[in-house]
Structure 1
Amino acid sequence: MSASPPPAWRRPDPVEAAIAHYGLIALLLGAAIEGEPFVVAGGVLAHRGLLPLWAVAASSIAGAVLVDQLWFWAARRGRDNRWVAGVRRRPAFARSIALLERHRIGFLSLFRFAYGVRAVAPVAIGLSRVPASLFAGLEAAAAIVWGLAFTALGWASGPLFERLSARWGGVVEAAAILVSAGALAFVLRRGPADRRLPAG
């Protein structure tokens, strides 16, 4: 009996190779800068088997914690920093201070889900007398819930994405990657101090 022929060699897909090498780093930065769209995209990629699901969730959580801690300590250690000063002039900053004074624990636990104040909340908290340990604990807990929830949403959206991909081929993947890369480049070019706050 003759041996079965070896499976045909398939040239590695360059997009899949790039995702495998740089996807988690891009996801960490995207989660830190823009948030949910990158985390959902990571969940979709995990569903397609391009990234480990646990690593997507971990990178998303790490990105969220990183950006909140950076802004908290920038405010606490550098009150006169020009970026911090720019944040303090925003209307959402006054709303954050008011909410923090009235509902300290609730605000610390939920600001990540409050789109109208999320971008400025860590600065407001850093300028307050909230202990760093209290902020770190509640913020990390919120980031875990946030990261797991939006990673799961992306995973659940995987079948829909696969149907679109089957119909349109690589166009869907290419468009998603280009849009994500363009959004990331745009945000980095503007800088954190110039980002618009979401409505609400």
Structure 2
Amino acid sequence: MDILETIREYGNYYYAIVFAWTFLEGETFVIFSGVAAREGILDLPTLICFAWLGSFLGDQLYFLIGRRYGARLLLRFPRWKPGVDHALSLLKRYSTGFVLSFRFIYGVRNFSSFAMGMSGLPWSRFAMLNFIAAGVWAVCFAGAGYLAGMALQHILGDLATGFGLLMLAAFLIAILVLFKMSRRRPAPPPEPVVTSRNVPAQAE
């Protein structure tokens, strides 16, 4: 069965799935849902609202877990510490900018809300900035799927329905996955500094 037809059969219940998925993460899911909205299967503003709410509440929960249980959880799961430390260093360096953008930063997204809960960041300030950031995130990813579907439909006309839009969604998801899997190349080791101490004496 076509995935778009499956979404159509779920009807309004699909928005609850969007909420649950974005509560955890769900960029690729929101992109595909944006494509479905272009097909008229979903309502784009409603999709954005549910993605916004799910993302916002998910990170609020992780923030509260970090505030209340952060130290104990790090003792139990020490492998989390590098990610938490990195998120905290970015928070210290960029402050408001980091809270607004952490959803878009691969490698620290999963630890950011938890780490900020362990910091001295007030709950009310995080909630306000997190609400704004979740809205921007939902609009960006749902809108990306919607606009990409519109572009394909404009180019291919009636051929860009059903299977065509499904393939477009798969392409967008593949690009996002490849981006996430990419790693920054390690910086080359610094060249040794030549001083009078490490230059061998020339024979006379």
Q: TM-score, normalised by structure 2?
A: 0.69
User: Secondary structure at the residue paired with 1:89?
Assistant: helix
In the TM superposition, what whole-angstrom CA distance separates every residue of 1:52-72 from its partner, at most 9, and x where no partner exists? 111100011111101100100
Selected match of 2:140 from 142, 149, 152: 149
- The answer to whether the Cα contact below 8 Å between 1:115 and 1:199 also exists between their aligned partners in 2 is no
- The answer to whether the Cα contact below 8 Å between 1:115 and 1:198 also exists between their aligned partners in 2 is no
Name the counterpart of 1:54: 45
Name the counterpart of 1:42: 33
Name the counterpart of 2:93: 102
CA distance in 1 between counterparts of 2:120 and 2:149 reads 43
Task: Flag structure 2 segments of 5+ consecutive residues without an equivalent.
Answer: 174-179, 185-204
Q: Which moved more, 1:72-81 or 1:61-70?
A: 72-81
Query: What fraction of aligned residue pairs are identical, expressed as a percent?
Result: 32
- Cα distance, 1:34 vs structure 2: 3.2
Alpha carbons of structure 1 residues 112 and 78: separation in structure 2 relative to 1, 3 Å: same
Give the partner amino acid of 1:127: M
Alpha carbons of structure 1 residues 86 and 67: separation in structure 2 relative to 1, 3 Å: farther
Paired positions, count: 167
Alpha carbons of structure 1 residues 137 and 151: separation in structure 2 relative to 1, 3 Å: same
Name the counterpart of 1:18: 9
Q: TM-score, normalised by structure 1?
A: 0.70
- The answer to whether the Cα contact below 8 Å between 2:64 and 2:117 also exists between their aligned partners in 1 is yes
- The answer to whether the Cα contact below 8 Å between 2:39 and 2:161 also exists between their aligned partners in 1 is no
- The answer to whether the Cα contact below 8 Å between 2:84 and 2:115 also exists between their aligned partners in 1 is yes
Name the counterpart of 1:184: none
- Cα distance, 1:16 vs structure 2: 4.7
In the TM superposition, what whole-angstrom CA distance separates every residue of 1:69-113 from its partner, at most 9, and x where no partner exists? 010011112235548953773422111111122222221221111
CA distance in 2 between counterparts of 1:20 and 1:137 reads 32
Name the counterpart of 2:202: none
In the TM superposition, what whole-angstrom CA distance separates every residue of 1:10-50 from its partner, at most 9, and x where no partner exists? xxx96254331421011112222232111111211111111
Alpha carbons of structure 1 residues 112 and 17: separation in structure 2 relative to 1, 3 Å: closer
CA distance in 2 between counterparts of 1:121 and 1:56 reads 25
Map residues 51-130 of structure 1 onto 2, 5 A cutoff. 51-79=42-70, 82=73, 85-86=76-77, 89-130=80-121
